[in-house]
Amino acid sequence: MAEDVTYPDLVVVGAGLFGLTVAQQAVEKAGARVHIIDVRDHIGGNAYSYFDEETGAEIHKYGAHLFHTSNQRVWEYVNRFTEFTDYVHRVYATHDGEVYPLPTNLGTINQFFRAHYTPAEAKALIEEQAGELAGKDPQNLNDKGISLIGRPLYEAFIKNYTAKQWQTDPSELPASIINRLPVRFNYDNRYFKDTWEGLPKDGYTAWFERMIDDPRITMELGVDFFDASQPYNKAALNAAGVPVVYTGPVDRYFDYELGDLKWRTVDFKEVRYDEDDHFGCPVMNFSDADVPYTRAIEFKNFNPERHDSQNHERTVVWEEYSRFAERGDEPYYPINTEADKDLYAKYVELERTVPNTVFGGRLGTYKYYDMHQVIDTALTAYEEQIHPMLAK
C-alpha cells in the first residue's frame, strides 16, 4: 500500500448485521471514521433483500429472514432505524397429501390422529408413545426424536425432513443435534415465542442503509479482504496496525492452516405461478421423502400490508434444498461436530496472534445466530473489545 494512504480509525470486513452495528456504534460512541468492505455486491449479509419487479414481493435473497426478539436492548436499538409490521410467523407442513400446523400443537395432534383430545389426553398420549424407548440412552437422532415426541409424530414431521436437511439418515446422525422438540398442548401455532416480532416496514435493505447513513462511514462493495491488490487487504492493515473487525469465515482468515470448519449450505430453485397466491402462507414445509426440497417460501405472503402494490396475477416461490457446503459455497449452518468444536477452539487460539482484529458474526465465531443475536453480540463486542481499541 502506498505510504500516503490515509487510514480510517476502523476497518470493518463484512457488511452484514454484525459489521453494520459495529460501524454505527463506532461513529456514534467514538466519533470514529469507519470504512466497510464486503466481497458481495450488496450490504446486509444474508439478511439482504430486494423487491421483485414482476410480483412486487420482497425477496429474501438468502432465505426467509424473520425478526423476533425478547431482548429489550436489541428491540430498542433496531427501532431506531426501522418500523416493524405486526407480522407473526406461522409455519405449515405438508405430509401425506395433507397440511398441518407447526410446531406440533393440539391442532396438529388432533388432526393427525383424527381425534378430539383434550390437552391432558394429548399429553398422556405423547408421553405413552415417547415411552417406547424408556430407560434407554438414545445414541442417534432417530431414537432421540422418538423418545421426545413418540414414533408417529416423529416419523411424520421430523424424520424425513431432517434426512433431507442433512443428506443423512437420522439413524446415522448424533442424538446431540436435537435437545428438544416443541409440542404445545393448546392450539397456539405461533412459531416464535418472543416478546417482539415483525418485519421491517420498508424492507431489510432500507433498514440497513439507515444504520450507516453517516458521512464518517464509507463503504466499498465487491472488495476481497484477501486480495493484496486492493488497499484494505489483510496484510497491509495488519502491518499498519489498523483496528479491524472481521466477519468472514475464521478458517479462511488463517488460510485454512488448521483445516476446514464444516458447514451446511442451501440452494434455491425459483418457481413462478400464474396465480395470486400458491400456498396461502409464507412458508410450507414438506415432511415427506418423495419431495426433494425441505420447504418452499412464498415471499409476498410475508407482507399482506403491501397488497395494493403487488401483482395479483403472478407469484414467486423459492424451493429450498439443503446440502453440505464446500469451499466457494455460501456457509449457512455450522455442523458443529465435536471435531469442528475442537478445531474452532484452535482457531480462537490463533486469533491471539492478531491483537488488532476482532472476530464476529456467524462466520467469524462459527456459531448459528438469529438476527437479534447477531446485533446483541455486536453491541457487546463494541463495548468490551472495539471501543477500548479505538480509545487507545
Tell me the pLDDT tens digit for each residue of 43-61: 999 999 999 999 999 999 9
CB 19 within 8 A of CB 361: yes
Q: Is 368 a catalytic residue?
A: yes
Per-residue model confidence as pLDDT tens digits over 152-206: 999 999 999 999 999 889 999 888 888 778 899 999 999 999 999 999 999 999 9
pLDDT surpasses 60 at 1: no
71 and 372 in contact (C-beta within 8 Å)? yes
Whether 320 is catalytic:
yes
pLDDT digits (tens, 9 = 90+) for 5-33: 789 999 999 999 999 999 999 999 999 99
227 is catalytic: no
Any domain includes 138: yes
Q: Is residue 341 part of a domain?
A: yes
Taking the C-alpha atoms of residue 101 and residue 98, their distance in angstroms, rounded to an integer, is 10
Alpha helices in 167-263 (DSSP H): 204-211, 234-240, 250-253
Catalytic residue at 155?
Answer: no
Q: Is 277 a member of any domain?
A: no
State the average pLDDT for the chain: 95
Of the candidates 80, 114, 180, 352, the residue annotated as catalytic is 180
Of residues 120 and 176, more confidently modeled: 120
Residue 171 and residue 201 share a domain: no
The C-alpha R_g of the chain, in whole angstroms, comes to 23
The full length of the chain comes to: 392
Given the residues 295, 319, 376, 382, the one annotated as active site: 295
Q: Are residues 110 and 228 in the same domain?
A: no
Do 163 and 19 lie in a common domain? no
As a whole number of angstroms, the distance between CA 376 and CA 21 comes to 9
Whether residue 219 sits in one domain with residue 129: no
Query: Do 41 and 162 fall into the same domain?
Result: no
137, three cell numbers: 440412552
Instruction: Tell me: do 72 and 14 sit in the same domain.
Output: yes
Contact 264, 336 (CB under 8 A): no
Cα-based distances in Å from 316 to 4, 33, 85, 259: 51, 41, 21, 40
Is 173 a domain residue? Answer: yes
Q: 373 exposed, middle or buried (CB, 10 Å; 0-12, 13-18, 19+)?
A: middle
27 part of a folded domain? yes
Split into its structural domains, the chain has a count of: 2
159: containing domain:
105-177
- Report the CATH number at residue 204: 3.40.50.720
Same domain assignment for residues 14 and 79 = yes
Q: Are residues 209 and 167 in the same domain?
A: no
pLDDT band at 4 (very low <50, low <70, confident <90, very high): low
Q: Which of 253, 264, 376, 382 is catalytic?
A: 264
Distance of alpha carbon 125 from the chain centroid: 34
Residues 237 and 364 in one domain: yes
Q: Are 79 and 109 contained in the same domain?
A: no
- 216 tagged catalytic: no
Domain boundary residue, one of 129, 148, 177: 177
From 148, 177, 206, the end of a domain falls on 177
Determine which one of 38, 92, 100, 184 is catalytic: 184
Does the residue 249 lie in any domain?
yes
257: amino acid identity, one letter = E
Residue 180 designated active-site: yes
Q: What is the pLDDT of residue 236?
A: 95
For residue 73, indicate whether it is catalytic.
no
**Mean pLDDT, residues 305-331:** 95
Reported as a pLDDT band with limits 50, 70 and 90, residue 288 is very high
Say which of 52, 251, 320, 376 is annotated catalytic.
Answer: 320
Query: For residue 378, is it within any domain?
Result: yes
Residue 386 has pLDDT above 60, yes or no: yes
Mean pLDDT confidence for 377-383: 98
Q: Which CATH number do you get for residue 155? A: 1.10.3110
One domain, residues 60 and 123: no
Collapsed DSSP state (helix, strand, coil) of residue 317: strand
The last residue of a domain, from among 122, 146, 177: 177
**What would the pLDDT profile of 328-361 be if each residue is shown by its tens digit?**
899 999 988 889 999 999 999 999 999 999 999 9
Residue 182 is predicted with a pLDDT of 87
What pLDDT was estimated at residue 2? 41
Domain co-membership, 340 together with 242: yes
Catalytic residue among 83, 98, 227, 368: 368
Whether 340 contacts 262, CB under 8 Å: yes
Is 3 a residue whose pLDDT tops 70? Answer: no
